[in-house]
Structure 1
């Protein structure tokens, strides 16, 4: 499931939770990997700042400033850290009605305003061809709290043409609700990763990784309900969003890069995702980075996404009501297109990047058609990044 396909605040949580690769997110500082007592000056590293803006047509608006830094200490130690703030405003779809037999998404009249703060710290230690990493991450908002840690390792074969990677991560989350102060539920997720990077030639490489996770706990969205009007009933049936209490996921990601000296780099990514909720998804992205000079480059890209619906997805509450049911559109069957373009400028030790992109999700973008009544999602985003190396 892609967070970029999401249209709600909950999708932002999932993006920073179990669906991200653990090598990019989690963290833990183990005693065996503690920094040496004798402090040393940083010799190699970078600091960076990024600002992300995301706007859905008629719905959510997100602003996210992010800062990070990375430093090499001595010959073998590396420390990296980041911090961000998510500022979310807008309106949220809450329920689906079935008046006159036509499913319809209804937007709540109340606006959403929330702020999430998050940070992580990672320490790595190199032992010749073996590199070990440990990290710790935290995330807090009004109705959601996450604590995560992770371990990872990479091993380079002689010649450094082949690199193996492995990782483990665990997150412990607490789910609440601004509408229900008594709600305090737990969700725990364990993640595992295996990967390989192979240099094919002096200008090409391929990278492939397999990630799977097992989660248990509270997956319901406390802000979503399904409302159904029956012709033979005076009062409608209202059903709270109810999902299974477990989720097993599998994701396979493969990347290919081919550099044409003096011209640019071809980039192709494919990701397959499947979970025991019944969702199968495919993501294909193709991009080409043109290098106009040592200072300037541009990278247009196009991504296509498609997924099947969850087994318990439905727009109408049946009689009798089932044990699990959700009308959350992120669990429906649909497809999506996302074009983007990135411009990069480099000057000595400073790199500046600007990215602009567009999302369009619709039922007719899925081969064979998607869920009837799916409301198209249109969103725009921009990202500006400044990096200083030293």
Structure 2
């Protein structure tokens, strides 16, 4: 089985990734004049040498409607079908645990527009056989008179319940609070820059019950800084660049840089190639693949079963680098509909870490995904 930290993604983020089209602006200060309906299908498959790992199929739907000249109501739903296998520790193929399960998730958000300001409230729910999550959020924004400067604030809380089928734990809880502050600045007719800072405070169960030797601290604080620059080019083309810095109390430090180039083509097509590069350090309690003289793999030397210290053999807590290549095609097909298809290829290797040598002994990790769908506005 995949653990609760391996297969979870924020509901809104998942749906926006599946349904977003070039030109949609979630931070707009004016109430949209049109309604939007989006339907999509996401397929994901990851693998390592000699092991096809997790496969996910996710149909989703999204609806956004302006009401009464001042309100925007948004909602979405997604159904994930996950199957496959994940290593119990590091990237060892032997003993990989199997899974086949479904997740149902949905969210709703209501935003009130006040000319130069907005207030929003949202709620999200996610259910599956071993994991349940409830989340609530509030946000506000304020723009200058000329609308060239926009400040935003956000606050969210989530409560998760973890009850794995192997019954290693039953009814474990995790509570998370998140605070975000951001500012967006128009620099001219062609350029917009934005900076967002997010702080997250989590308390509760963070271990992966399906991994061997996985005992993580019950407190996790994170900080993330996201910088974005959007630049309009000639012929309706656009360049979007971003940089993200992340750190947490587990000891992980991560950097990500990326960009996408959006360009219209003949026949009403829009093409968007993208590239993202990523690097992270290992968690303080991550241990490399080793063999204990007494217990054998995967226990680190001197592991104390009676009083285990924080430790993990989860490759996602290791030091590594990664690259993601993507290509998206979209086309207006009439009747207010725009269809799109997007493919991405991800590769993760220890040797690709930007500084240092990365964690040794890990197998290469690859993932492929494609999304297909359509969006209608009216």
TM-score category (smaller protein): 0.7 to 0.9
Matched, 1:78 2:72: yes
| Aligned 8 A contact 1:95 1:106 in 2 | no
List gaps (5 residues or longer) in structure 1. 1-6, 25-41, 97-103, 226-239
Q: Pick closer, same or farther for the CA change 1:64–1:329 going to 2, 3 Å.
A: same
How far apart are residue 272 of structure 1 and its match? 0.5
Q: Secondary structure at the match of 2:206?
A: coil
Q: Are 1:186 and 2:159 matched, yes or no? A: no
What is residue 219 of structure 1 aligned with on the other side? 206
C-alpha distance in 1 between matches for 2:347 and 2:242: 19
SS in 1 for 2:6: helix
Q: Tell me how far 1:206 sits from its aligned partner.
A: 0.6
Q: Compute the displacement of 1:385 (Å).
A: 2.3
Per-residue deviation, 1:9: 6.5
State whether residues 95 and 107 of structure 1, in contact with CA within 8 Å, keep that contact through their aligned partners in structure 2.
no
Q: Deviations over 1:91-139 (max 9, x none)?
A: 111135xxxxxxx624435521011110001001112211000011000
Change in Cα spacing, 1:272 to 1:109, as seen in structure 2 (3 Å) is: closer
Once residues 201 and 293 of structure 1 are traced to their aligned partners in structure 2, the CA distance between those partners, rounded to angstroms, is 28
TM score, norm. by length of structure 2: 0.86
Q: Which residue of 2 aligns with 1:47?
A: 37
- Picking from 358, 363, 366, the partner of 1:378 is 366
Structure 2 Cα separation of the partners of residues 20 and 192 of structure 1:
16
Among 78, 81, 102, the residue aligned to 1:87? 81
For residues 368 and 324 of structure 2, what CA distance do their matches in structure 1 show? Answer: 10
The answer to whether the 8 A contact 1:187-1:218 is kept is yes
Verify the 8 A CA contact 1:91 1:108 in the aligned structure 2: no
- Tell me, in whole angstroms, the C-alpha distance in 1 between the residues paired with 2:180 and 2:317: 25
Superposed, which structure 2 residues align to 1:347-366 within 5 Å?
Answer: 347-348=333-334, 349-366=336-353
Q: Contact 1:294/1:346 (CA < 8 Å) preserved in 2?
A: no
The correspondence of residues 233-312 of structure 1 with structure 2, limited to 5 A, is 240-293=213-266, 295-312=268-285
The count of corresponding residues between Structure 1 and Structure 2 is: 343
Task: Report the CA distance between 1:147 and its aligned residue.
Answer: 0.3
Go from structure 1 to structure 2 and tell me whether the alpha carbon gap of 1:221 and 1:109 turns closer, same or farther (over 3 Å shift): closer
Paired position in structure 2 for 1:36? none
The reply on whether 1:167 has 2:157 as its aligned counterpart is no
Deviation at 1:324, TM superposition (A): 0.7
- Which residue of structure 1 aligns with residue 323 of structure 2? 337
Cα-to-partner distance string for 1:45-95 (whole Å, 9 max, x where unaligned):
111111110111211111111101000002101100000011100011113
Distance 1:84 1:107 in 2: 33
Q: 1:140 aligns with which of 127, 137, 143?
A: 127
CA-to-partner distance for each residue in 1:230-284, whole Å, 9 max, x for gaps? xxxxxxxxxx310000000000001111111315101101111000110000111
CA distance in 1 between counterparts of 2:96 and 2:220 reads: 32
* Counterparts of 1:202 and 1:43, CA distance in 2: 22
- 1:11 maps to 6
CA shift, 1:204, in A, is 1.1
Q: Which runs of 4+ in 1 moved over 6 A?
A: none
Q: Greater share of strand residues, 1 or 2?
A: 1
Does the 8 A contact of 1:80 with 1:121 survive in 2?
yes
Q: Does 1:210 align with 2:200?
A: no
